[in-house]
Structure formats: C-alpha cells, structure tokens
Amino acid sequence: MKNLLMILVFMAMASCGNSLTDKEKQEYAAKGNEISQATFKALSEKLTEQMKLGGPAQAIPFCNVEAMPLTKQLSDQYNVTIKRTSDKLRNQENKPSKREQEIINNYHKLISEKKDITPIIEVDNNNNKHYYAPIILKANCLACHGKVDEFVSVKTDSIIKSLYPNDKAVGYNEGDLRGIWSIEFKK
C-alpha cells in the first residue's frame, strides 16, 4: 500500500514537470501576441486592398487562395505553427483539435458568465508550448461573416457558398467570439 502511494506521488510529480514558470508564461504570451497581431495585420492589409479593388466578390476568392499560404509563410518566419480555428468553420482545413474545441467552449462559457477572456499559455504532454487567444468579430468583418441579407449580401453569400459549400461562418454580430488563434511553438 505504501509503495503504491509512493508510485502515485511520483506519477503526479512527473506530470507536473510540464508546467511553465510565470516568467516563461509571460514570454510565450508576449510572443504569441506579437505573432497573432502580425498575422492579423498581414491578412487584413491584403483583405482591405482586395475589398477596395472589388468588394467581397474579389476579396473572398483572394482569401480562399491566399489566407492559408500567407499563414504558412508567417509560421515559417516565426518558427511556429499559426492556426485560426473556430466552432463555426468556413474552411474545413481550419478544423479545431480536441483541445482547441475545449478552449473555444470555455471562452463561450466565460463570455456567458460576463467574465474576461484572456490568452492561454499551456504545455502539452510532448512538452510543446501553446498560445491560444480569442478572435472577436469587428464591424469590418460583417460583410463576410455577418447576417445574410443584412450585412452579407445574397450575392456575397452565394460566392462564399460556391467556394465553401459547408460554410458555417455567417450570422455573427459585432463583438461575438469568431474563433481563436492557436500558435504552437517549436522546440
């Protein structure tokens, strides 16, 4: 019995080995903020440019082709894996992992309880570090993610549906949780 207890204590200690100090957490949070903001800036600059040139009809096909490669390029540049994911997907390639889905659910829960939602830093069982942060819908996202026939024109919606037949990412209001950033740091 005593031996069994000792084994359990050691197992508990071993699993705690994967935790981060407060200083490390702050460092990863700062890096995660920097990378997500840089990615947001890069995506939205291109998007705004295309919107000016030809509205959603031009910007949506552009996103369809360019959003993933641009995210991949920034991932390589920062030596991380950058992902944007959601519980209501447009592009199935952005599908959440089990952990990402849990984080999204938890953010929804906190929002419903009127609590603050802040970035999360975690270490997984393989000792990889992760940064998660909420993506909140802004007014300038409504043209492609808002309510159909109100903010998203019927024409825009048909372009979206032609490229993403299973699109779930319309019907949002300003201030809604659109999804999360998920950044995995490489060792």
Residue from 105, 140, 158, 162 touching ligand HEC (CB under 6 A): that is: 140
Q: What is the dihedral of CA 97, 100, 102, 108, to 10 degrees?
A: -140
Q: Which is nearer to ligand HEC, 99 or 138 (CB)?
A: 138
State in angstroms the smallest separation of the CB of 94 from ligand HEC: 4
Half-sphere exposure of 164 (CA within 13 A, CB side): 21
Which region, judged by CB under 6 A, interacts with ligand HEC, from 1-9, 85-93, 96-104, 115-123? 85-93
Residue from 64, 81, 128, 153 touching ligand HEC (CB under 6 A): that is: 64
Q: Which is nearer to ligand HEC, 25 or 84 (CB)?
A: 84
State in angstroms the smallest separation of the CB of 172 from ligand HEC: 9
Contact between residue 20 and residue 129 where contact means Cβ atoms under 8 Å apart? yes
- Rounded CA-CA distance 134/118 in Å is 7
Which residues inside 105-134 make contact with ligand HEC, applying CB under 6 A? Answer: none
- Rounded CA-CA distance 8/15 in Å is 11
| DSSP annotation of 169 | -
Q: Is 181 exposed, middle or buried (0-12, 13-18, 19+ CB in 10 A)?
A: buried
Q: Which residues bind ligand HEC (CB under 6 A)?
A: 44, 47, 51, 56, 59-60, 63-64, 67-68, 84-86, 89-91, 94, 135, 137-138, 140-141, 143-145, 169, 178-179
